[in-house]
Structure 1
C-alpha cells in the first residue's frame, strides 16, 4: 500500500505539470482557434533558457525565473502572434496548423544548435535543500508540493479570467466571430495577444517544472506535449476541469506503469508509448464539437495534361542520370536520399492535396516499407519490393479505419499519436511470433539493407540506385497524374470539398478514405524501401515523428495538389545537405531551413511549385529559348563528365544561364499583350484546353 501511495504522489505531481501545460493549450485554442503544436517546444525553450541563466551563468534562481516567465515568455508569445500567425489569420485551418508544426520543428533545431545535445545539463529541483515531508512511509518533496500548488493556482486563475472578467469574455467571443465581437466593442487583436502571452507563460512554467525530472533534451521535452495533448482532448479542447481530470489520468497511468508493469523485453516501450495510445483512444471515444475555424478556403487542384506528365516523368529520369554521372564520392552518398524522400513527400499529394486528409505518419509508413524490404529483400528479390508496398498500404488502411470520424486537427493528432506509438514501442520490439509466423522489425538495433536484382543485374551501387530511384519516382509521379485525371481523383477532390455532399450524392466515405490512406501509405512505403537502399543501414530513429515533420512542411510549401511536388520536396529537403561538405556548422543551418520556409508559408499559400511553373512556362513554350536552354544544360553536363569543370561551377553556371534565358523568354512573351478571351469564345478564338471542361463544370456548380 505504501508503494501504491508513493507512485500515486509521483503521478499526481506529474499530472499537475501536464495540467498546467494542457490548460495553456486549451486557453490558446479556445481564444484563437489555433491548435498550438509548438506548445511543448515553447516550454522546452523556456527550460533551456532557465538552465542557461541559473546554472550556466550563475544568476539567482528568482531572477532567472522572473526573466524567463515575465519577460522572455511573454515576448515570445507576442512574437508568435504578431509575426507568425496574424499574417495567416485569413487563411485556412491547415495553413495555420502548418505554421505551428514549422515552429515546433524550428524550435527543436534551434535548441540543438544553441545547446549541444551531447552535453549533459542537469537541472536541480526547487527547494532541494529543504527536508521533504513525510506522510507515513511516503515521502513528498517540496518540488512536488510546489508543482501541485501551481497547478491549483493556474486552474483557479484561468477559470476566473475566462468567466469573471471582460478580457475573458472578449477572448471567448473573438474565436466565434471576430467581426461580431469587434462590433460590440471588443478588440480581437488584444484578445489573441493576451491568449498567446498567457499560453506561452503556462508552457514555460510546465517546462521548467518538469525539466528536473527528465533529461534536458530538446526532442524529449518537446514531445512531452503528447501527454498534455491527451489531457486537452479529455477536455475536448474547451473544458479546463476536464483537462485537469485528463492530466490526472495520464500522470497516474505513467507512474503506475513505471511501478507495476511486468519486466520483460516487450513492455518497456509500452510505458513510453502509453500517453500516445491514450490520446488515440480519447480521440476515438470522446465526442468532439465541430472544429472552430474550419477551413473553407479551398485552393483549386491543378489538372496536369498527359503530355506534361510524360515530359515531367522523363525529366525526373534525366535528373537521376545527371546526378548519377556528375556526383562523386561523399556527394553522391549525401544526395542519394533525394529521390526516395521525394517519393515519401509525393504521398501527401493524393492524401492531403486531393482528399484533404492531414497525416503526420507518412515517414512511419516509409519505415514499415523499409523494414519489410530489409527482411524479405536481403537477396534482391523484386517481389519483396511489391510486398513492402502492400504491407505499408495495409498499415495505412488500418490507420484510416479508426480515424474515420476524425478530421482536421483531430486527424493530425491521431496520426501523430500513431507515429509516436510506432517509434517508442512497436519499432523497439524484439522478434515475436503471431500464429506461428515470425515477425521481426528493427529487432532493437539496426538493419542492413541491400539493393534489388532486376533482369539479372544487382543494383547495389550508389549510381545504379540513383537511376533506379529516379525511374521509380517518375513512374509513381505519372501514376499520381493519371489518378488526378481519372474518376477516382475527381471523387477525392469532391471528398475534400465537402464530405457531407460527397456522401449525399452516393459516395462511400469509408471506401474513399481507406483507399486514399492505403494508396498514400503504399507510395510512402515504396519510398521508404528506396530510402533504406540508399542508406544501406537503417534505425528506428530515422523514421520518428520529429524526422518526418520537415518532409511534411516542405510538401505543404511545395503545393499539395501538384504532381511535381515529389521532385521539389526531395530537392529542397536533401539538396542543402551538399553544404555539409563546406563546413560542419552548416548542419544546423540546414536543419532549421524547412522550419523557416514553413513559417513563410503565408507569402505563398498555394505553394511554390505552381509559382515555379508559372515563372518558367514562358521559357518552356518559347521555340528559341527552350532548345537553347537544353543545349546549354547538355553542354554543362558534358563538361562535368569530362572533368573540365567541378560541380560548383556546373551548378552556378547552369543557374545563371537558365535564369537569363527565362528572363529573355518572359520579355519576349510580355511584349504584345494578349487580350483576355471570354469564356463563351473558348474553342473558337483560341484552342480548347484540357482543363477548360473542369473549369466550366465548377463554374456551373457554383452558379
Structure 2
C-alpha cells in the first residue's frame, strides 16, 4: 500500500504539470481557435532559457524565474500572435495549424542549434535542500508540493479570468465571431494577445517544473506535450475542470505503469507510448463539438493535362539520369534520398491535396515499407517491394478505420498519436511470432538494406539507385496525375469540398477514406523502401514524428494539390544538404529552413509549385526559347561529363543560363500577350480550354 501511495504522489505531481500545460493549450484554443502544436516546444525553450540563466550563467533562481516567466515568455507569446498568426488569421484552419507545426519544428531545431544536444544539462529541483513533507506513509518533496500548488493557482485564476472578467468574455467571444465581437466594443486583437501571453507563460511554467525530472532534451521535452494534448482532449478543448481530470488520468497512468508494468522485452515502450494511446482513445470515444474557428479555405485543384503529365514524368526520369552521371562521391550519397523522399511527400497529394485528410504519419508509413523491404528483400527479390507497398497500404487502411469520425485538428492529433506509438513502442519491439509468422521491426537497433535485382541486374550502387528512384518517382507522379483526371480523383475532390454533400449524393465515406489512406500509405511505403536502399542502414529514429514534420511542411509549402510537389519537396528538403560538404556549421541552418519556410506560408498560401509553374510556363510554350534552354542544359551536362567543369560551376552556369532565357521568354510573351478575355466570351473570342469547365463550375459553387 505504501508503494501504491508513493507512485500515486508521483503521478499527481506529474499530472499537475500536465494540467498547467494543458490549461494553457485550452486557453489559447478557446480564445483564438488555433490549436497550438508548438505549445510544448515553448515550454521546452523556457526550460532551456531557465537553465542558461540559473545554471549556465549563475543568476539567482528567483531572478532567472522572473526573467523567463515575466519577460521572455510574454515576449515570445506576443511574437507568435503578432508576427506569425495575425497575417494568416484570414486563412483556414489547416493553414494556421501548419504555422504551428512549423513553429514546433523550428523551435526544436533552434534549441538543438543553440544548446549542443550531446552535452548533459542537469537541472536541480526546487527546494532540494529542504526535508520532504511527510503525511503518514507518504513522502512529498517540496518540488512536488510546489508543482501541485501552481496547478491549483493556475486553475482558479484561469476560471476566474474566463468567467468573471470582461477580458475573459472578450477572449471567448472573439473566436466565435471576430467581427461581431468588435462591433460590441470588444478588442479582438487585445484578447488574442492576452491569450497568447498567458498560454505561453503556462507552457513555460510547466516546462521548467518538469525539466528536472527528465533529460533536458529538445525533442523529448517537446513531445511531452502529447500528454498535455491528451488532457486537453479530455476537456474537449474547452473545459478546464475536465482538462485537469484528464491530466490526473495521464499522470497516474504513467506513474503506475512505471511501478507495476511487468519486466520483459516487449513492454517498456508501452509506458512511453501510453499517453499517445490514451490520446487516440480519447479522440475516438469522447464526443467533440464543432471545431472552434473552423473556417475552410478551399483552393482549386487543377487537373493536369495528359501531355503535361507525360512531359513532367519524362523530365523527372531525365533528371535522375543526369544526377547519376554528374554527381560523384559524397555528393551522390548526400543527394541520394532526394527522389525517394519526393515519393513520400507525393503521398500527401491524393490524401491531403485531393481528399482534404490531414495526416502526420506518412513518414512512419515509409518506415513500415522500409522495414518490410529490409527483411524480405535482402536478396533483391522484386516481389518484396510489392509486399512492402501492400503492407504499408494495409496499415494505412487500419489507421483510416478508427479515424473515420475525426477531421481537421482532431485527425492531425490522431495520426500524430499513431506515429508516437510507432516511435516509442512498435518500432522498438524485438521479434515476435503471430500465428506462426515471424514479425520483426528494427530488432532494437538498425537494419541493413540493399537494392533490388531487376532483369538479372543487381541495382545496388548509388548511381543505379538514383536512376531507379527517378523512374519510380516519374511513374508515381504519372499515376497521381491519372488519378486526378479520373472518376476516383473527382470523388476525392468532392469529399474534400463537403463530406456531408458527398454522403448525401450517395458516396461511401468509409470506403473513400479507407481507399485514399491506403493509397497514400502505399505510396509512402514505396518511397520508404527506396529511401532505405539509399541510406543502406536505417534506424527507427529516421522515421519518427519529429523527422517527418519538415517533410510535411515542405509538402504544404509546395502546394498539396499539384503533382509536381513530389519533386519539389524532395529537392527542397534534401537539396540544401549539399551545403554540409562546404561547412559543417550549415547543418543547423539546413535544419531550420523548413520551419522558416512554413512560417512564411501566409505569403503564398496556394503553394510555390503553381507559382513556379506560372513563372516557367512562358519557357515551355515558346518554340524558340525552349530549345535554347534544352541546349544550354545539354551543353552544361556534356561539359560535366567531359570533366571540363566541376559540379558547382555546372550548377551556377546552368541556373544562370536558364534564368536568363526565362526572362527572355517572359519578355517575348509580354510583347505578344493578348488582352484578358471576360469569362462570358470564353470559347468565342478565344478557344475553349480543357480547364475552363472546372473553373466555371467552382466559380458558380462559390457564388
Using the size of structure 1 for normalisation, the TM-score is: 0.99
Shift of 1:443: 1.1
Structure 1 residue matching 2:44: 3-state secondary structure: helix
Alpha-carbon distance in structure 2 between the residues aligned to 1:377 and 1:583: 36
Shift of 1:433: 0.6
Alpha-carbon distance in structure 2 between the residues aligned to 1:233 and 1:386: 38
Shift of 1:702: 4.8
Structure 1 residue matching 2:291: 3-state secondary structure: coil
Q: Which residue of 1 aligns with 2:407?
A: 407
Contact 1:374 1:450 in 2 (8 A): yes
Alpha-carbon distance in structure 2 between the residues aligned to 1:150 and 1:303: 55
Alpha-carbon distance in structure 2 between the residues aligned to 1:660 and 1:293: 46
Shift of 1:655: 1.0
Shift of 1:297: 1.3
CA distance 1:621–1:673, shift in 2 (3 Å):
closer
Aligned residue-pair number: 703
Structure 1 residue matching 2:134: 3-state secondary structure: strand
Structure 2 residue matching 1:538: 3-state secondary structure: strand
Q: Does 1:431 align with 2:431?
A: yes
Shift of 1:136: 2.5
Shift of 1:688: 2.5
Shift of 1:133: 1.0
Contact 2:302 2:561 in 1 (8 A): yes
Alpha-carbon distance in structure 1 between the residues aligned to 2:672 and 2:392: 53
Shift of 1:682: 2.9
Q: Does 1:388 align with 2:388?
A: yes
Shift of 1:422: 0.3
Q: Which has the larger displacement, 22-31 or 289-298?
A: 289-298
Alpha-carbon distance in structure 2 between the residues aligned to 1:293 and 1:625: 48
Cα distance per residue 1:630-653 (max 9 Å; x no partner): 000000011011110001101111
Shift of 1:516: 0.3
Shift of 1:695: 2.2
CA distance 1:681–1:472, shift in 2 (3 Å):
same
Contact 1:89 1:96 in 2 (8 A): yes
Alpha-carbon distance in structure 2 between the residues aligned to 1:203 and 1:680: 55
Q: Which residue of 1 aligns with 2:670?
A: 670
Cα distance per residue 1:80-132 (max 9 Å; x no partner): 00000000000000000000000000000000000000000000000000011
Contact 2:28 2:196 in 1 (8 A): yes
Contact 1:40 1:225 in 2 (8 A): yes
Alpha-carbon distance in structure 2 between the residues aligned to 1:435 and 1:377: 22
Q: Which residue of 2 aligns with 1:397?
A: 397
Aligned CA RMSD, in angstroms, stands at 0.8
Cα distance per residue 1:310-361 (max 9 Å; x no partner): 0000000011011100100000000000000000000000000000000000
Structure 1 residue matching 2:128: 3-state secondary structure: coil
Shift of 1:686: 2.2
Q: Which residue of 1 aligns with 2:569?
A: 569
Shift of 1:225: 0.1
Shift of 1:692: 1.8
Structure 2 stretches lacking a partner, 5+ long: none
Structure 1 residue matching 2:583: 3-state secondary structure: coil
Contact 2:230 2:246 in 1 (8 A): yes
Shift of 1:700: 4.5
Alpha-carbon distance in structure 2 between the residues aligned to 1:593 and 1:495: 33
Cα distance per residue 1:655-699 (max 9 Å; x no partner): 111111111111111124412223344334322222122223334
Shift of 1:619: 1.1
Q: Which residue of 2 aligns with 1:75?
A: 75
Q: Which has the larger displacement, 384-393 or 677-686?
A: 677-686
Cα distance per residue 1:215-263 (max 9 Å; x no partner): 0000000000000000000000000000000000000000000000000
Contact 1:94 1:295 in 2 (8 A): no
Shift of 1:604: 0.3
Alpha-carbon distance in structure 2 between the residues aligned to 1:415 and 1:234: 17
CA distance 1:71–1:640, shift in 2 (3 Å):
same
Q: Which has the larger displacement, 119-128 or 618-627?
A: 618-627
Alpha-carbon distance in structure 1 between the residues aligned to 2:350 and 2:491: 11
Q: Which has the larger displacement, 687-696 or 582-591?
A: 687-696
Alpha-carbon distance in structure 2 between the residues aligned to 1:289 and 1:667: 54
Structure 2 residue matching 1:584: 3-state secondary structure: coil
Alpha-carbon distance in structure 1 between the residues aligned to 2:82 and 2:499: 34
Cα distance per residue 1:250-280 (max 9 Å; x no partner): 0000000000000000000000000000000
Alpha-carbon distance in structure 1 between the residues aligned to 2:275 and 2:169: 33
Shift of 1:295: 3.2
Structure 2 residue matching 1:447: 3-state secondary structure: strand
Contact 2:33 2:294 in 1 (8 A): no
Contact 2:99 2:599 in 1 (8 A): yes
Shift of 1:701: 4.3
Alpha-carbon distance in structure 2 between the residues aligned to 1:325 and 1:470: 13
Shift of 1:293: 1.7
Alpha-carbon distance in structure 2 between the residues aligned to 1:697 and 1:89: 28
Structure 2 residue matching 1:404: 3-state secondary structure: helix
Contact 1:365 1:525 in 2 (8 A): yes
Shift of 1:437: 0.9
Q: Which residue of 2 aligns with 1:4?
A: 4
How do 1:476-515 and structure 2 match up within 5 A? 476-515=476-515
Structure 1 residue matching 2:312: 3-state secondary structure: helix
Cα distance per residue 1:31-55 (max 9 Å; x no partner): 0000000000000000000000000
Alpha-carbon distance in structure 2 between the residues aligned to 1:297 and 1:540: 36
Structure 2 residue matching 1:403: 3-state secondary structure: helix
Structure 1 residue matching 2:139: 3-state secondary structure: strand
Q: Which residue of 1 aligns with 2:550?
A: 550
Cα distance per residue 1:424-453 (max 9 Å; x no partner): 000000000111111111111111100000
Structure 1 stretches lacking a partner, 5+ long: none
Contact 2:360 2:552 in 1 (8 A): yes
Alpha-carbon distance in structure 1 between the residues aligned to 2:567 and 2:441: 29
Cα distance per residue 1:534-589 (max 9 Å; x no partner): 00010000000000000000000000000000000000000000000011100000
CA distance 1:458–1:127, shift in 2 (3 Å):
same
Alpha-carbon distance in structure 2 between the residues aligned to 1:395 and 1:629: 44
Shift of 1:486: 0.4
Contact 1:396 1:521 in 2 (8 A): yes
Q: Which has the larger displacement, 36-45 or 138-147?
A: 138-147
Structure 2 residue matching 1:134: 3-state secondary structure: strand
Using the size of structure 2 for normalisation, the TM-score is: 0.99
Q: Which has the larger displacement, 617-626 or 569-578?
A: 617-626
Q: Which has the larger displacement, 681-690 or 15-24?
A: 681-690
Alpha-carbon distance in structure 2 between the residues aligned to 1:290 and 1:651: 51
Alpha-carbon distance in structure 2 between the residues aligned to 1:232 and 1:101: 18
Structure 2 residue matching 1:35: 3-state secondary structure: coil
Structure 1 residue matching 2:404: 3-state secondary structure: coil
Cα distance per residue 1:284-323 (max 9 Å; x no partner): 0000001122232110002100000000000000110111
Alpha-carbon distance in structure 2 between the residues aligned to 1:99 and 1:700: 31
